[in-house]
Structure 1
Amino acid sequence: MRFFFKTDYNQDINLTRDKVDRFWYGLLLFVLLAAPFVLEDFWLGEISYVFILSIVGIGLMLLTGYTGQVSLGHAAFLGIGAYTHAVLLHHGAPFIIAITAATLLSAFIGMVIGSRVLKLTGLYLAIVTLAFAFIIEHVLVKWESVTGGFKGFSVDRPEYFGIAITEDVPFYYLTFFCLVLAVLAALNLLRSPTGRAFIAIRDSEIAAQSMGVNLARYKTTAFAVSAGFTGFGGALFAHKIGYLAPDAFNILLSIQLLLMVVVGGLGSIHGAIFGAAFVGALPQLIAIGRDYLPETIARQPGLEPGLFGIILVFFILFEPYGIYGRWLKVKLYFSLFPMYKKATFKKQKSYTKSERNR
């Protein structure tokens, strides 16, 4: 059994908890860096896709998991980032300029949307963001001079020193570096006053406002930052799929992104990454499972969305803390065995005095 004691105020803002955590994270980084030497190109492509989903999941986690603002429109921000990046590359912009512009434009549009929906929460906010996703999808279809409409267009393959960065191994390292950058940026944001304000708004808007938190400012900031992360991931996503078309950024993708953070574990960067691994692997598992299902079931066109919905419902009912929450329970069980109590994670109903009459 290992106990952790805080003896310094700086421990609250450290990126890692102690030397043991630093060892395991270092080992994980070493394994991921060495993966191209032992894995085939197919698996490198799948892991790269998980890295991209993780970046997008971190963006949505900052908004939904840490600020408490539900969004069903993040496929729109993903599309904005992907199309902006691809169009700029097509017109000769360098890769760094294109991906930066895609991130900034997505963040700006997120800021505009966030400033317009300040008074909305819960279901109403989800409906507005869903409508925004439909609007962006319609724009991508009708703006044929830029997006190519339904026909779409192929994404350019930039080369540096004679090496195409979209090849399997270079693209793996590119997405891995971008994920590490996104994780460090999110962790530093969360341990700043801005991140603490996000969490305060999530826990209780009334209490946060009474402590001097500017709700309008920080909600708008949360939307902008979340959209920026998503647009950043969208630029990489454009290279992953190789060909952009409006139907790649539909409502099903928004639902998958929301499923990703809920299943992974709300309120945790680990949860965003675990959820990305789950959502990235699930289509492959469904494809394998079709071979063992009766033909009448395996040929159903709505099998994948239906399974996504069922999984989401089961996680909400039986494991609301997600995959990361289950991992914490497993670790605690072995740490406290045989003194572990079943009621350790029992959810208690508690209300602040200002919210009891809502």
Structure 2
Amino acid sequence: MRFIFKTEYAQDIRLARHGGHWFWYGLLCAFLALAPLLLPEYWLAQLTFVLIYGIAGLGLMLLAGFTGQFSLGHAAFLGVGAYTQALLTGMGWPFFAALACAALLSAAAGIVVGLPALRVKGIYLAIATLAFGFIVEEVFARWTSVTGGNKGMFLQAPVVAGLAFDTSQSFYFLCLVIAVACTLAILNLLRAPTGRAFVAIRDSEISAQSMGVHLAWYKTLSFALSAALAGIAGALYGHKLQFITPEQFDIVQSIDLLLMIVIGGLGSVHGAFLGASFLIFMPQLIGLAKDYLPDSIGQSPGLQTFVYGAVLIAFVMFEPLGIYGRWLKVRAWLQLFPFYRAGMFKRQKSFQKSERLR
């Protein structure tokens, strides 16, 4: 078992805490770099979707996992980013300029939601964001002169410095670079005072406020940053599909995003990508399992929804920390073996939050 003795503050905020991190993350980066050579084109496309949803998951994780503000309308921010990217690239804007505008416009939409949401929390905040999602979806469908309405809009392959990313391999590398950049940005933000303020708000708003954290500013900032990342993911999503319609950014998409971070592991950057992997690869596994199931079950139209619901219930009941939380327990078991003690990870009793004493 590894023991780390910290003698300076820089050790606590270091991205890689020890040599094992450098080895495993280096191995992961090597696999991702060689993925176009190792994987067929179909699975490479699925891995590209994992990267895109992972970026959206980072945004929602920042909002829900690290700030404690849940959103049921996050697909609207994906839609804002996708439609902004489609309009600007259609007008001849460079790819990265259009991507930056998509992120900024999505962030502005996040501020529009975040400011009124300062007075509500919990289920009421979820209802407010859900209403916002319905409104944005209706705007996409009705504003036909800009969005094309239900006919949708086409997007061309991104072009950067005269180089067209029109193949699965080239677009995968573009998404990989953007996903790595977004991940490093989130990791550095969480090490900074801003990220620590987000976590303080999540744990206890009263305690955070008593320590000088400006609740209104940091909550609004969290919404803006989360929406900006969703806008970037929406822009890449549109380029990958090359066709977008309002139905792609409905309540089902928002629920999928929330399901993704809950199953991946709330409060963990790893959980965003683990949840994205679950969201993308689970339908493939269900499709493979249908061949071995009776026709009455395998051909049922609600099989995928049933499996998603059952998995979500199982995680909420038996593993609230998600896939990443389960991995931490498995890793601790391997490190402590044979001295692992039963009940070591038994859930502790929860006490009332201080907010309830008001």
TM-score w.r.t. length of structure 2: 0.96
Q: Which amino acid aligns with 1:71?
A: S
Match for residue 16 of structure 2?
16
The question of whether the paired residues in 2 share the 8 Å contact of 1:117 and 1:125 is answered with yes
CA displacement at 1:344 relative to structure 2: 2.0
The question of whether the paired residues in 1 share the 8 Å contact of 2:94 and 2:159 is answered with no
Q: Which amino acid aligns with 1:183?
A: T
Query: Within the alignment, does 1:316 sit opposite 2:316 as a pair?
Result: yes
CA displacement at 1:356 relative to structure 2: 6.0
Q: Which amino acid aligns with 2:96?
A: I
Match for residue 92 of structure 1?
92
Q: Which amino acid aligns with 1:333?
A: W
Q: Deviations over 1:151-193 (max 9, x none)?
A: 1121122345775313101111011101100100000110111
Q: Classify 1:3/1:246 alpha carbon distance in 2 versus 1 (closer, same or farther; 3 Å).
A: same
Distance (whole Å) between structure 2 residues aligned to residue 137 and residue 103 of structure 1: 18
CA RMSD of aligned residues (A): 1.6
Aligned length: 358
Q: Classify 1:334/1:112 alpha carbon distance in 2 versus 1 (closer, same or farther; 3 Å).
A: same
CA displacement at 1:194 relative to structure 2: 0.7
Distance (whole Å) between structure 2 residues aligned to residue 154 and residue 342 of structure 1: 56
For structure 1, which segment, 306-315 or 80-89, has the greater mean C-alpha deviation from structure 2 after superposition? 306-315
Q: Which amino acid aligns with 1:191?
A: R
Q: Classify 1:35/1:212 alpha carbon distance in 2 versus 1 (closer, same or farther; 3 Å).
A: same
Distance (whole Å) between structure 2 residues aligned to residue 153 and residue 354 of structure 1: 49
Distance (whole Å) between structure 2 residues aligned to residue 326 and residue 49 of structure 1: 24
The question of whether the paired residues in 1 share the 8 Å contact of 2:53 and 2:233 is answered with yes
Match for residue 133 of structure 1?
133
The question of whether the paired residues in 2 share the 8 Å contact of 1:256 and 1:308 is answered with no
Distance (whole Å) between structure 2 residues aligned to residue 278 and residue 324 of structure 1: 12
Match for residue 77 of structure 2?
77
- Helix, strand or coil: the match of 1:53? helix
Distance (whole Å) between structure 1 residues aligned to residue 65 and residue 301 of structure 2: 31
CA displacement at 1:254 relative to structure 2: 0.6
Match for residue 271 of structure 1?
271
Match for residue 256 of structure 1?
256
Q: Which amino acid aligns with 2:118?
A: L
Distance (whole Å) between structure 2 residues aligned to residue 158 and residue 84 of structure 1: 14
The question of whether the paired residues in 2 share the 8 Å contact of 1:79 and 1:231 is answered with yes
Distance (whole Å) between structure 1 residues aligned to residue 173 and residue 113 of structure 2: 33
For structure 1, which segment, 2-11 or 258-267, has the greater mean C-alpha deviation from structure 2 after superposition? 2-11
CA displacement at 1:352 relative to structure 2: 6.8
Distance (whole Å) between structure 2 residues aligned to residue 294 and residue 80 of structure 1: 42
Q: Deviations over 1:227-275 (max 9, x none)?
A: 0011011110001111111111111111110011000000000111111
Q: Deviations over 1:59-109 (max 9, x none)?
A: 000000000011111110011101110111111111111111000100111
Distance (whole Å) between structure 1 residues aligned to residue 254 and residue 45 of structure 2: 22
Q: Classify 1:208/1:351 alpha carbon distance in 2 versus 1 (closer, same or farther; 3 Å).
A: farther
CA displacement at 1:7 relative to structure 2: 1.8
Distance (whole Å) between structure 1 residues aligned to residue 74 and residue 262 of structure 2: 14
Match for residue 170 of structure 1?
170
- Helix, strand or coil: the match of 1:291? helix
The question of whether the paired residues in 1 share the 8 Å contact of 2:76 and 2:249 is answered with yes
Query: Within the alignment, does 1:33 sit opposite 2:30 as a pair?
Result: no
CA displacement at 1:296 relative to structure 2: 3.5
For structure 1, which segment, 223-232 or 20-29, has the greater mean C-alpha deviation from structure 2 after superposition? 20-29
Q: Classify 1:237/1:353 alpha carbon distance in 2 versus 1 (closer, same or farther; 3 Å).
A: closer
The question of whether the paired residues in 2 share the 8 Å contact of 1:77 and 1:231 is answered with yes
Q: Which amino acid aligns with 1:244?
A: I
Match for residue 214 of structure 1?
214
The question of whether the paired residues in 2 share the 8 Å contact of 1:11 and 1:17 is answered with yes
The question of whether the paired residues in 2 share the 8 Å contact of 1:114 and 1:223 is answered with yes
Unaligned 5+ residue runs, structure 2?
none
Distance (whole Å) between structure 2 residues aligned to residue 3 and residue 343 of structure 1: 22
Q: Which amino acid aligns with 1:281?
A: F
Match for residue 144 of structure 1?
144
The question of whether the paired residues in 2 share the 8 Å contact of 1:252 and 1:305 is answered with no
Distance (whole Å) between structure 2 residues aligned to residue 123 and residue 354 of structure 1: 18
Match for residue 195 of structure 1?
195
- Helix, strand or coil: the match of 2:21? helix
The question of whether the paired residues in 2 share the 8 Å contact of 1:166 and 1:239 is answered with no
TM-score w.r.t. length of structure 1: 0.96
Match for residue 247 of structure 1?
247
Question: Percent sequence identity over matched residues?
Answer: 55
